[in-house]
Amino acid sequence: MPSCKRTAGVVRVYADHEALSRAAAELFVRQANEAIKNRGRFSVALSGGHTPQRAYELLAGPPFNTQVDWGRAHVFWGDERCVPPDDPRSNARMAREKLLDHVPVPPANIHPIACADSAKNGARSYESLLRSFFDGCPKSFDLVFLGLGTDGHTASLFPGTPALLEKDRWVTEIYSEKEAIHRVTLTAPILNQALILAFITSGASKAGMLREVLNERHEPERFPARLIKPDCYGGKLYWLADKDSASLVET
Ligand code: 6PG
């Protein structure tokens, strides 16, 4: 549906990072319960970065930890650095430490991106895994959390990279010159099929970019977060932002 015009989505502004994290945890619980009631399982793609860590910590403790039927949750990631699973830069490690080690998600339902050996192979196997998991379903994830970089990237979709042009593949590899590291990332074609996609942004350093990505122009090669438009496919886009990151956004 290339002609569908991106809309800004729903912007929700919270007093501070704590309130923002609570709202993200509440959204997770709401979506989990809704999905399990309607489809018998809940599929979520987590984001890396610093911003969502507090939301994951909150989900790991009361009252949220008892509000989700974790046995029916399936956990995926939006992107990963190709490092060993116990490397401090691993997004899967962060989510395990903050959340997954503390709640009863069956290990078989936890699907980290494994690419330490080869980014290319890692991307291929994650794509097969996702295609078989979503077989026959009209939509993909029940919930995707995404972060926003100060350069406009989201997941590992960085400005000016070939991953932004991807129309068919759901998962691809990229090389980050800045970090000298390979990464694997979900692409717009699969992310946009999510039922709910929520960006979580916090801090004054994000204010300029948040204003930029929320305007109606497209230019995804400069501002990759603008590729995200689940509303074109029947899903919903939320921007959960704290006051500092939303200080330049008209609400
Ligand atoms: C990762 C990400 C990335 C992240 C943004 C925002 O690098 O692990 O998935 O897209 O979400 O860079 O990161 P912060 O929350 O740390 O600002």
Give the nearest ligand 1 atom to 91 CA.
Answer: 8
| For residue 193, pLDDT beyond 90 | yes
pLDDT score, position 91: 98
The mean per-residue pLDDT over the stretch 184-203 comes to 97
The residue to mutate among 17, 20, 21, 47, having the most atoms of ligand 1 within 8 angstroms of its beta carbon, is 47
Amino acid at 168: D
pLDDT at 1: 47
Which residues, in sequence order, are CB contacts of 204 under 8 Å at separation 6+? 244, 245, 247
Give the dihedral sign, CA 244/143/118/84: positive
Tell me which of 104-108, 128-132, 153-157, 247-251 is least confident: 247-251
Flag whether pLDDT at 212 surpasses 90.
yes
The conformational region for residue 160 under phi > 0 = left, psi -120 to 50 = alpha, else beta, is left
- Res. 118: pLDDT tops 70: yes
DSSP 154: B
Contact 205, 189 (CB under 8 A): no
* More confident: 224 or 9: 224
Q: Which residue has the higher pLDDT, 211 or 218?
A: 211
Nearest ligand 1 atom to alpha carbon 49? 16
Q: How confident is the model at residue 136 (pLDDT cuts 50, 70, 90)?
A: low
Ligand 1 center to residue 136 CA distance, Å? 31
- pLDDT confidence of 243, banded at 50, 70, 90? very high
Going by C-alpha positions, the residue among 167, 174, 209 that lies closest to residue 188 is 167
How far away, in angstroms, is 91 Cα from ligand 1 center? Answer: 9
Confidence class for position 138, pLDDT limits 50, 70, 90: low
Q: Does 147 contact ligand 1 (Cβ within 6 A)? A: yes
How far apart, in whole angstroms, are the C-alpha atoms of residue 90 and residue 146? Answer: 16
C-alpha 38 to ligand 1 mean position (Å): 31
Using one digit for the tens of pLDDT, what is the confidence trace for 44-73? Answer: 999 999 999 999 999 999 999 999 999 999
Q: In Å, what is the CA distance from 142 to each residue of 119, 235, 236?
A: 26, 9, 10
When the pLDDT of each residue in the chain is averaged and rounded to a whole number, the result is 95
**What does the pLDDT look like over 157-179, one tens digit per residue?**
999 999 999 999 999 999 998 89
